[in-house]
Amino acid sequence: MSIYVAHVAHEEHVPWAARQQDGERVSEPQAFVTGGGLLTVAEVAAAMRVSNMTVYRLIKNGELPAVRVGKNYRLRDADLHRFREERSVHVEDR
């Protein structure tokens, strides 16, 4: 099975299925495997309200799973959600 990743000049929140390449629909490669979308490091950093460097550090330390696409990283929605859930703090009422 071959998976091709289309190069997109801008990183907008446009569903992959809506993007066109040579007149044909382009599907998000990861959707075939997990059904989830991919996020850039900058999108993850903004969602977590941390710097890009913090996200890169979490990836390097193995705390946050990522997929390498060319020279860039992409992170799955589900992995980000799991990461945040595992580190959330639950406070009990007194």
For 9-59, write each residue's pLDDT tens digit: 344 444 444 444 444 444 445 444 544 689 999 999 999 999 999 999 999
pTM (two decimals): 0.60
- Number of independent structural domains in the chain: 1
Of residues 87 and 12, which shows the higher confidence score?
87
pLDDT for the residue numbered 92: 87
DSSP E strands in 3-71: the ranges are 20-21, 24-25, 38-40, 67-69
Residue at 92 is within a domain: no
Q: Rounded to whole angstroms, how far apart are CA atoms 28 and 23?
A: 16
CATH number at residue 45: 1.10.1660
Structural domain range at position 78: 16-86
Instruction: For residue range 2-17, list pLDDT tens digits in order.
Output: 444 443 334 444 444 4
